[in-house]
Structure formats: C-alpha cells, structure tokens
Amino acid sequence: MAWKTILEGEDPMPALAAQRSAHAQLNSAGENLSDKMLAYAMTLALPESFTTLKQTLWLRESLSSSEVQAGVQAEWSRRKTEGESATGMFAKSKFRSKSTFNNPKKQFDRFPWPIIQDTALFIRKLVIAPKIASKTEGKVQKA
C-alpha cells in the first residue's frame, strides 16, 4: 500500500484517501488484503498527536477503514474548529500590540509583568513557604 506518514498539522484526509485507493487497486489486481489491514495501515500513518485516537480505534473488536476515516475526520474537524477559536481569542487579547512585534524598544512590553510578578509572589507564599515550614516543624533544636 502507499505508505506516507502524515505530518503534524497536515490534513490527513487526502493521505487516507490515497491509501484506500491503493488498497482497492491491489485488491483488483488479485491481492487479497483485508479491510482490517487497511485500517491498521491508516492508523499507523497518522502523526503522533493522534495517539489517543489510534489507541481508541485499536481497542475496537472489529476495526474497519470506514471507522478510522470517520474518527480521523471528526478529530480533524474538531482541531480546525479549536484552532480557529484560539486564533480569534489571540486577536482580541488586550496584551497583543501591533507595534510590539516590530519595535525592538518595546519588545518587553508584550508581557504582562505585573501579573508575572504577582504569580511569583503567590508561588513563594503558598508553595515554597509551607514546604520550608514543614521541613523545620518536626526537627528538635539542639542546645
């Protein structure tokens, strides 16, 4: 079968369609390749970010190429929708400034420094201080 590893971020549907086509051509030429073999080949060609979907598909009793194609199509649609909404949120972000990215004098203005400083103070008070206190709590001081 046509083996092509699908790259991260690439639409997987054309590559899966090419695999189905190659499977059909091999079967019409006299080879007897099962649909289950095609389904496994399709899942193996998927990029690593599809690992959860691949494992879910492999756990099914009767795996078929149509199930793989439907699952991949649903996951790809979800990712595209999620990506578009994330892009929209970034565009509306109050921390993004058009002049920040092109002006070297303002390169540090793009980060919300007060929030970062407050977070560091928060971590020191709530995470680090209790750890130090718990370490010294059980120790007996020697005279």
pLDDT digits (tens, 9 = 90+) for 64-74: 999 999 999 99
pLDDT tens, 101-111? Answer: 555 555 545 54
> Are 56 and 71 a contacting pair, CB within 8 Å?
yes
Query: Distance between CA 78 and CA 82 in Å, rounded?
Result: 6
Q: How far is CA 122 from CA 48, 76, 125, 128, 132, in A?
A: 36, 39, 5, 9, 15
Percent of the chain predicted with pLDDT > 70: 56
Comparison of pLDDT for 22 and 109, the residue scoring more: 22
Across the range 33-46, mean pLDDT stands at: 92
130 band by pLDDT with thresholds 50, 70 and 90 = low
Across the range 16-45, mean pLDDT stands at: 92
Percent of the chain predicted with pLDDT > 90: 44
- In the chain, where the domains are located: 13-92, 111-137
